[in-house]
Structure 1
Amino acid sequence: MFAPDRLRLAGRYADLLATEGVVRGLIGPREGARLWERHLLNCAVLGELVPDGAEVCDVGSGAGLPGLVLAIVRPDVHVTLVEPLLRRTTFLQEVVDELDLTGVEVIRARAEALHGDREFDLVTSRAVAPLGRLLSWSMPLVAPTGAMVAMKGASAADEVAAVEKELAQLGCAPPEVLTVGAGVADSPTTAIRVVWAEPARVRLARAQPPSKKSTSRRPRG
C-alpha cells in the first residue's frame, strides 16, 4: 500500500496527528493507539479509486483525512485541501511543509467559494456531512468526466436512498456504493461514488457565461 519511500512520510504524519493533532483538537486523545488502522490505512485504500495523475480536491479536509494520506500514498496526483477553519489549515500547511509534499495545496475556504473557478477529477470527503449536503458542495467542483467519492460507514446505502431528489436536480447518475481495501485492511472502507449522468451537458453548461440576472445575489444576513 505505502511504497517504502512513502512509508516514512506516513509514519511522520501519524506522529504529528498523535501529538499536535491531539493538542489542537483535530484528533481525539484516544485515537493515538489506532491511528494506522482507523485513519491512515482506512484512507490509503481509497487510492484504488484515484485515476493516474488526477487533480484531487479534499472537501472539509480537517486533519488531512483522506487528502494528505492520498498525497502520501499517491505522489502522482495533485491534492487540494479545502478547509474553512484557520487552526486546521495551519496544521495542514505545517504537515505539507514538513513532509515536503510539493503536490499539495491548502486553501482556507468553504467548498462553495471554489464553485465556478475550479474543477477536479476527484472530489473526496470523510465524515464531513450527510450525503445531500455533500452533493451540493462537491458536485459543482467535479469535472464533467470526474467523480465525487465520499467515505461513509454502514449507512451508505440508506444515505443514497434518501437523496434521490438531490441527485436528479444536480444531474447525477445513480451512485455506486463501493468497498475498497478488502484483504488489505482489517476493516474495509465504504465509499459512495457519484458521477455526472450526462458529462457533455455539464461541459456545455459551464461553457455558457452567466446572465446578469443569474449573477445577482441577495446579501446574506
Structure 2
Amino acid sequence: MAAIPITGGEDAAPRSILAGAAEQLGVPLDAAALDRLLSYLALMQRWNRVYNLTALREPSEMLSHHLLDCLAVLPALARHAKGRPLRILDVGSGGGLPGVVLAVAQPDWSVTCIDAVAKKSGFVRQVAGELALPNLRSVHGRVEALPAEGRFDVIVSRAFASLADFTELSRTQLAPGGVWLAMKGRAPDEEAAALPGNVSVFHVEPLRVPGLHEQRCLVWLRPHGTR
C-alpha cells in the first residue's frame, strides 16, 4: 500500500513533518504534545549512542519508522475506545514504542510499558519523568512473570513475538472484554493459522503511515467466544 506523502518533503523540519502527519492521520496533537514527541525523539537519539535502543541511527529514520509508525495506530485505537479512557499494556516495549507515543497523544489513557531489558525499561522511566507523563509507567521484567491482574483493556505489541506467543504470554493481563493488538508489516497469515483454539483474529486492518513506503497492518485478536 502506498504511503501518504508528507507535506514539505524529506528536508522539512521534524516538527513540520510530525504536525503534517498528525493532521493527515486525523490525530489531534497540540503544541505541548508535539514538543513532547520531539523531546522523546531527541532523548532516543542521545541514549541510543550508548544503550543501543534501536538499530536506526538517522534522526529522519527514527521519526518515520518509529514516531510516525506508532502515531498511525492512534485512529484505530481511538475508534476502539469510543471516548472511554483505555488501560494499555505495551509488551516488549523496547525504547517505548508505541507506548510513549500513545501516552503523549492520549493523556487520559493509562499506558504501561514492559520490557525484559533493564536499560530499555530504565530509558522509558526517564522519558516519563523528563516529559512529565504521569499516565506512563515503565516495568522491568517479563510479561509472563507479572501477577495475574487481568486489568488491561488493550495489550499491544510491536515486533515482540509471534501472535501465538504474544497472546499466550500476556493472557493473564487481559481484562474481561479486552483485546490484543499486534503491529505487523505484512498480514501474518501463517502466524494467525498457528493460533490456539482459545484465541481468534477478528480483524486485520491495513495502515497507511505518512512518509513510510512499507507495508503495515494491525492485527486485532480476542479470546475465543468473546465479542
Matches within 5 A, 1:130-169: 130-161=162-193, 163-164=194-195, 166=196, 168=197
Would you say the 8 A contact 1:45–1:189 is kept in 2? no
Q: Distance in 1 between matches of 2:211 and 2:169?
A: 29
Shift of 1:185: 5.1
Which of 82, 89, 92 is the aligned partner of 1:57?
89
Structure 1 unmatched runs, 5+: 201-221
* 2:61 match: 34
Q: Which runs of 5+ in 2 are unaligned?
A: 1-21, 23-28
CA drift of 1:174 comes to 3.2
Deviates more, 1:79-88 or 1:187-196: 187-196
Q: CA deviation at 1:155?
A: 4.7
Give me the whole-angstrom Cα distance separating, in 1, the residues matched to 2:58 and 2:164. Answer: 28
Distance (Å, rounded) in 1 between the aligned partners of 2:86 and 2:182:
16
Question: Are the counterparts in 1 of residues 36 and 131 from structure 2 also a CA contact under 8 Å?
Answer: yes
Taking the aligned partners of 1:36 and 1:85, their CA distance within structure 2 comes to: 23
The aligned residue for residue 158 of structure 2 is 126
Structure of higher CA gyration radius: 1
Aligned partner (choices 108, 116, 138) of residue 148 of structure 2: 116
Task: Quote the Cα distance in structure 2 between the aligned partners of 1:115 and 1:150.
Answer: 22
Alignment correspondent of 1:69? 101
Contact 2:90 2:112 in 1 (8 A): yes
4+ residue segments displaced more than 6 Å: none
Distance 1:116 1:133 in 2: 17
Q: What residue in structure 2 maps to residue 47 of structure 1?
A: 74
Q: Does 1:9 align with 2:41?
A: no
For 1:101, give the aligned amino acid.
L
SS in 2 for 1:140: helix
Match of 1:82 among 114, 122, 126: 114
Distance 1:33 1:41 in 2: 11
TM superposition score normalised by structure 1:
0.80
RCO comparison, higher one (Cα < 8 Å, 6+)? 2
Contact 1:37 1:186 in 2 (8 A): yes
- Which AA in structure 2 matches 1:123? I
TM-score of the superposition, structure 2-length normalised?
Answer: 0.78
Number of aligned positions between the proteins: 194
8 Å CA contact 1:71–1:78 kept in 2: the answer is yes
